[in-house]
Amino acid sequence: MSERRDFAGGLLLGVLVGAALGVLFAPAAGNETRERLRREGEQLRDRAREQAERVTEQARRKADEVASRVRSTAGDVLERGRSVIEERAERLGEAYQAGRDSAFGREGGERRDDDAD
């Protein structure tokens, strides 16, 4: 991106210098030369403004695209995290129940009505 900006800046500077030199050395009266310089300067200013607007719009679109990707990725990571937590909680519950059953001497997870959870 920096190389493009440097190239564009150099190109714009070259155009300005070339236009100024061309107008200054052209065989025309002072008033005509000044008027021509003013018009060309305005045209260059307008073109530079349009280019800046295009670059700004491209940057906005790219930033929106990146933000959308980040949100999507964050949502995926969050969902995977929830799944892992739910899975681990389920395993912990099963291990707790197995330990409890073992402590009470039961096999296969038999429950008695007098067990309090």
Domain boundaries, the chain: 18-102
- Under a CB-based contact definition with an 8 Å cutoff, are residues 69 and 81 in contact? no
The region of weakest confidence among 32-36, 101-105, 107-111 is 107-111
pTM given for the model: 0.44
* Cα–Cα distance, 71 to 63 (Å, whole number): 12
Name the band, by pLDDT with cuts 50, 70 and 90, for residue 109: very low
Tokens at residue 36, please? 């021509």
- pLDDT value at position 36? 82
CB-hemisphere CA count at 13 Å for 22?
9
Q: How far is CA 36 from CA 24, 27, 46, 49, 96, in A?
A: 10, 12, 15, 20, 89
